């Protein structure tokens, strides 16, 4: 996490922590996967993944973990909000949707939210 110094009107200096730099290529965040409907449940649903990774890479990773065939459909959602674009980075999503250094993705084999 980045930190900044704040000087109060009385002249005392205190340090405040701010949001991590999600653009840092070395930063990893916790990614949690949750299944929806009839999608298989992952044995290990929590991973640490670099914020520089793109959604397309995350989708391929999830397909491999689920043993999906090429013909199987897989839908990925950020929280219960929306389906991210394949070229979106985890860092960009983390800036808006990360809570406690954790980003939650829901996955399904059929469309769940539009």
Task: Determine the pLDDT at residue 72.
Answer: 94
The pLDDT tens digits for 59-72 are: 999 999 999 998 99
Report the alpha-carbon distance of residue 58 to residue 100 in Å, rounded: 20
The pLDDT tens digits for 102-111 are: 999 999 999 9
Whether 2 shows a pLDDT value over 90: the answer reads no
Count CB neighbours of 54 within 10 A.
17
Sign of CA dihedral 97, 100, 106, 112: negative
Report the CATH fold assignment for 28-108. Ubiquitin-like (UB roll) (3.10.20)
Domains of the chain, residue spans:
28-108
Report the alpha-carbon distance of residue 23 to residue 4 in Å, rounded: 18
> Two tokens at 46?
């929590």
Grade residue 15 by pLDDT with cuts at 50, 70 and 90: very low
Task: Determine the pLDDT at residue 11.
Answer: 57
Which residue, among 1, 25, 3, has the nearest Cα to 14 in the 3D structure? 3
* DSSP three-state, residue 78: strand
């Amino acid at each position: 996490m980045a930190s900044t110094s704040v000087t109060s009107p009385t002249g005392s200096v205190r340090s405040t922590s701010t949001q991590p730099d999600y653009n840092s290529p070395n930063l990893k965040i916790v990614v949690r996967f949750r299944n929806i409907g009839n999608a298989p449940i992952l044995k290990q649903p929590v991973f640490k993944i670099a914020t520089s990774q793109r959604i397309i890479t995350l989708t391929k990773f999830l397909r491999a973990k689920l043993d999906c065939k090429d013909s199987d459909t897989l839908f990925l959602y950020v929280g219960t909000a929306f389906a991210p674009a394949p070229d979106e980075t985890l860092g960009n999503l983390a800036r808006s949707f990360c809570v406690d250094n954790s980003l939650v993705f829901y996955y399904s084999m059929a469309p769940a939210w539009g």
